[in-house]
Amino acid sequence: MNFGLLAIKSLVILALLFLLSLAGAVTFPVLAVVTGTSAVGLVNLISLLVAVFILSILGNLLGRGIKGLKKPIEALILTYLGAFFMGGILSLFTYLNVPYAAHINLGWLGTNWYSSWLTMLLIGTTIMVVFLVGE
């Protein structure tokens, strides 16, 4: 596993999550503490980067598995399942209230029964694009 390339992908994911936070889909609970002048803000920022790096490792493993398939229909199905899985990991961070991770706004697309599922799929798709297009 190339950790330099994985670190670059982690920064791209962090930038994508920041852009999604501008749209209201994701919130970063730690950014309010980062603006302070104490060293606690630096520790929280590093913890956020570690959480995104762990998410990148999982996405990289999923992307490698999908790229290894030879049949296109299986790869297509696993791509969408992997995207849903990545969104599900972020929603799990939200439900468990992990303090240093990005939290998904599950009501971002509305209040219908399928809105939270569609939110997880759309956010997961933006993350999985990084791993399927890279290299």
The model's pLDDT over 12-69, given as tens digits with 9 standing for 90+, comes to 888 888 888 888 888 876 655 555 556 666 777 777 888 888 888 888 888 888 888 8
110 Rama class: left (phi>0) / alpha (psi -120 to 50) / beta: left
The model's pLDDT over 77-101, given as tens digits with 9 standing for 90+, comes to: 888 888 888 888 888 888 888 777 8
Domain segments of the chain as ranges: 13-133
- Whether residue 106 is predicted with pLDDT greater than 80 in this model: the reply is yes
Beta bridge pairs of residue 103 = 27
pTM for the model? 0.80
Tell me, what DSSP letter sits at residue 38?
S
User: Are the C-beta atoms of residues 100 and 30 closer than 8 Å to each other?
Assistant: yes
Nearest to 50 by CA among 84, 98, 96: 98
pLDDT at residue 33 in the model: 54
